[in-house]
Amino acid sequence: MPNTHVVARRARALSDSIPFGDETSPWRYGDTTPWQEETASANSASQRHNENGIVYIIGGGPGDPGLITVKGLERLRQADVVLYDRLVAPELLSEASLHAELINVGKEPKRHRRSQDEINALLIEKAREGKSVARLKGGDPFVFGRGGEECQALAEAGIPYEVIPGVSSVIAVPAYAGIPVTQRGVTTSFTVIAGHTGGAEADVDWASIPRNGTIIFVMGVEHMPQIVLELISRGFSPETPAAVIEKGTTLNQVVVTATLADIVEKAAHLQPPSILIVGKVVRLHEELNWFNLEPSRRFV
């Protein structure tokens, strides 16, 4: 398969954002730039030598549709089939071709529309029909997105694929809450942990978590009491700053700040999707809370 990744290096810079549905924009669906035409040519040549189609594993970002990459949006617009997750911004689906087949394969906690094996099989089936398939995921496909598993299945089946990284909620959601995950003079490291299985029996090396860094628990709101108890029992001060952010980067974003001593009580009303952030950088929220203070700057 020809290397089409070189095209990304020729992408022209955009001023501030990608204009969704702007009729005057050269980025609207149906128009192409020279580097887009080269990409299409490379893909066509690839498919002439391979009866299969191709699968694009696309990171769609954490909620704000403006956070999808230029390349991700391009591939989405070109796709014949789009398999999308539950947390993908609805605005992105409207960017798909009018002729594209849209398939919801989203998963909810303890309730999966399709198993991962079924999703893998569907990707392979559609690609073997000679179609261009966009696997649209929230955030980044390789950060708790099971993108690696899907790539393994495609590789074993001999299906060409391309991974298009996305903006992860791990850094974007704190940023929209005015919480930098690192800050000179405060912390130089951050740790990311899947929080959907909390407590001592979880597959987490609690003892190795640095106390002077930022800790980000994704998918952890349901197990927050166990997570907080575990941290305090491992030597974290109850006065350690903590925050929970619900529906980050969207107009429905809610931020609750507290300490480990009272974050469970103060954030008890929040629901998934939420992330828990622990560390001194949380104190910067009040000063850097740009998103909630300036709605006119939101691109949602």
Contacts of residue 122, defined as CB under 8 A and 6 or more positions apart, other chains included, come to 83, 103, 105, 114
Pairing of strands 190-194, 254-259: unpaired
Helix (H) or strand (E) holding 135: strand 132-137
Torsion angles phi and psi, residue 81, rounded to 5: -135, 140
- Cα distances from 277 to residues 1, 222, 257, 258, 272, in angstroms, run 42, 14, 9, 10, 14
Give residue 276's identity as a one-letter amino acid code. Answer: L
What SS3 state is found at 277? strand
Cβ neighbour number for residue 285 with a 10 Å cutoff = 21
Helix (H) or strand (E) holding 285: helix 285-288
Cβ neighbour number for residue 194 with a 10 Å cutoff = 15
- Is omega for the bond preceding 273 within 30 degrees of 0, making it cis? yes
| Positions marked active-site | 85, 107, 219
Whether 69 and 166 have beta carbons less than 8 Å apart is answered as yes
C-alpha closest to that of 275 among 297, 243, 251, 300: 243
CA distance 80 to 76: 9
